[in-house]
Amino acid sequence: MSANDAHPTIKKEFILEGLGCADCAAKIERSIKELEWVSYASVNFPTETLQIEITGDVPDDMEEHIKRIVRQYEPDVTVNEKNGRKRPAESRPERSRIILLILGIITFTAGMFSEFMLNLDDRITLVLFIISYVILGGKVVLRAAGNIIHGKIFDENFLMTVATLGAFAIGQYAEAVAVMLFFQIGEFFQDSAVRRSKRTISELMDIRPDFANLYKNGKITEVASEDVNVGDLIVIRPGEKVPLDGIVTGGMSTLDTSALTGESIPRRVSLSDTVLSGCINLNGVLTVEVTHTFKESTASKIIDLVENAAGKKAPTEKFITKFARYYTPAVVGLAALIIIIPPLLFGGIWSEWIDRGLIFLVISCPCALVISVPLTFFAGIGAASKRGILVKGGNYLEALNNVGTAVFDKTGTLTKGVFKVTSLQPANGFSEYELLEAAAKAEAFSNHPIAVSIMRGYGKSVDRDELTGYTEIAGKGVAVNADGKKIIAGSRKMMEESNIEFEVPVNTGTKVYVAADNVYAGCITISDEVREDSHDTILSLKRKGIRTVMLSGDDPQITGELASELEMDEVYGGLLPQHKVEKVEMLNRGKKGKLVFIGDGMNDAPVLAMADVGIAMGGLGSDAAIEAADVVLMTDEPSKVIDAITVARSTNRIVWQNIIFALGAKSAFMVLGAIGIATLWEAVFADVGVTILAILNSMRVMRKAG
């Protein structure tokens, strides 16, 4: 028995309610990863969730271990295991925090009056400032001390504690308390901005209904969506969200599907039509038979995909987390040099250079970066989901920013994949009816779109019990015994390999060649309609400098004609599934930028997995598409690829705006602080102001959801 068999992987998810510090989130993640029984851990700051995978012997107090680690960094965060239901409502700022802030302001103001207006005893003034400092900064100092005890020294609590205690040491009491006051005010507004950002993103994905109208024994009862089983009947009234996937058994209506697909045009549904959870019923009353439980419903899958996407961090996000880890100790070292070197070597005044070093420390806090970068990626994922584009991680969103080659499957991607028989060309004495009948018998067991179109063209049912020896040869065709004859139907290759003489018609379209007992019976031409936006999509990609390639198992002549019509750069036809993999490997060699493959998500899993980014089209309700791809387009529109790239580029641009702005502004203020121009008060404004501006800039990505 292997180790994996002895200790199967267990997945757990926890809600970290009230998580407001992105830097702390990164440290919590890192500390939990160090637990010997944890094989994977990811803290999703925007959604306040922790995902872990456990192997080995799990301690009985596992949850207590996690709570202990969280409390080290965020004492006010509540840890609860996620139970699959709707996550708790977002916590509001604690009333006690506001009361303490007001008390701190009152005692600070009293201290200022005592010092500058009333000229009271210095000891009274000092006591007032100490009381104010304890009220405003007591928690910060305790956190810093707790972190030092646990060997976690360098964070914003440490920076603020050192800076303010240092100010007290050199007699700048008012400045020390003011730093804590403005820090707390700044934290309050910063937390508000983060909460508002998270709420805005969450609203984009607010497609999960709260209840279902269960119809049982002639009565309608409002129940939780989780309590409805497959096969139950539910009633959906006008204005209500569809709570679960199902099939209409009564009524007709129009559905607003924009939350799933990004499309504003309502969809008409009636008897036997499929409805998906997350849509909104606009007018008629519908009775629906449930086909998927709440957990397996489309809305739940989409929300889980988007929420979990932040766990797959982009390289830039990982770099910023790692950068912050080394940046803070580095600036503490620089601050120490600013304090020590000038007085020792150049005769500077100690109090003056201590003051400058403390200012340098306050400004250097990396919060603007560690908060805004993950928020921006998550906002980009939310904006894409609003357009009906599911991106499974920030890493894929960043990869879409640098696409160099776009490889398309043909059937069902650039074309509609809806075939119909357009020409019958019998030969060797066969009639059109006999040709079509032979082809229908050969294709009777296949569910390929071409086979379906032949059966539809034949218009009759085939008795499968009379058919024997059915064989399907991938990418070539099928063979079957019927009426005492061996019938084969397929491509030119199948005719050639069977040594059957045949004729190639001059008309365009997909051709199915048919033979009976090695006698050529004729050719059936089947046409597939090109999607309306395929041509514009290819032209838009080329304008962005992206190479476009088509891969298809269809006849090279047909694929060549379509590629020419769409103005694609390269085309490869007549490919078996393994040949598609080989072509993608070839295209990957020496390419510029990332390679994306766009397919229907059903038959292209190997190629989707091999590409830098695999994009499945038409994934609405398709489990196979959602599982196989890195990005899922919820409609059958190739133009969604352009939308995905546009959102990705906008996200990346804003990420780097925040990085450059934060580092640039902080560097400038650190220099001003070091040379004695900036004060401690200004340092706090610079730190908090830069963070809030970066957060607000991150939210501009949401416009891409419009």
User: What residues are labeled active site?
Assistant: 409
Which uninterrupted H or E stretch holds 581? helix 577-588
Rg (CA), the chain: 33
DSSP one-letter string for 609-659: HHSSEEEESS-TT-HHHHHH-SEEESSS-TTHHHHHHHHHHHHHHHHHHHH
Show Cβ contacts of residue 193 under 8 Å, excluding neighbours closer than 6 positions.
692, 695, 696
Alpha helices, H only, 117-239: 122-149, 156-169, 173-204
Alpha-carbon separation of residue 72 from 37, 148, 451 (angstroms): 20, 10, 63
Task: Say if CB 18 and CB 194 are below 8 A apart.
Answer: no
Q: Which amino acid is at 389?
A: I
Task: Say if CB 527 and CB 562 are below 8 A apart.
Answer: no
Q: Which two tokens stand for residue 238?
A: 């006008």
Could you tell me whether strands 233-236 and 510-516 are parallel, antiparallel, or unpaired per DSSP bridges?
Answer: unpaired
**Helix (H, G, I), strand (E, B), or coil: what is residue 420?**
strand
Nearest Cα residue to 493 out of 483, 504, 484: 504
Alpha helices, H only, 37-155: 62-73, 95-116, 122-149
Q: How many CB atoms lie under 10 A from the CB of residue 564?
A: 10
Q: Which two tokens stand for residue 2?
A: 């292997």
Task: Quote the CA–CA distance of 372 and 100 in Å, as a whole number.
Answer: 28
**Helix (H, G, I), strand (E, B), or coil: what is residue 417?**
strand
Task: Quote the CA–CA distance of 628 and 632 in Å, as a whole number.
Answer: 9
Nearest Cα residue to 588 out of 615, 611, 607: 611
Residue 388 has, within 13 A of its CA and on its CB side, a CA count of 25
Task: Quote the CA–CA distance of 611 and 620 in Å, as a whole number.
Answer: 22
Alpha-carbon separation of residue 86 from 15, 83, 443, 551, 642 (angstroms): 11, 8, 47, 43, 33
Nearest Cα residue to 338 out of 520, 184, 574, 166: 166
Task: Say if CB 324 and CB 369 are below 8 A apart.
Answer: yes
**Helix (H, G, I), strand (E, B), or coil: what is residue 376?**
helix
Strand order in the sheet with 477-482: 415-426, 519-530, 510-516, 485-490, 477-482, 468-473
Which region holds residue 88: left if phi is over 0, alpha if psi is between -120 and 50, else beta?
beta
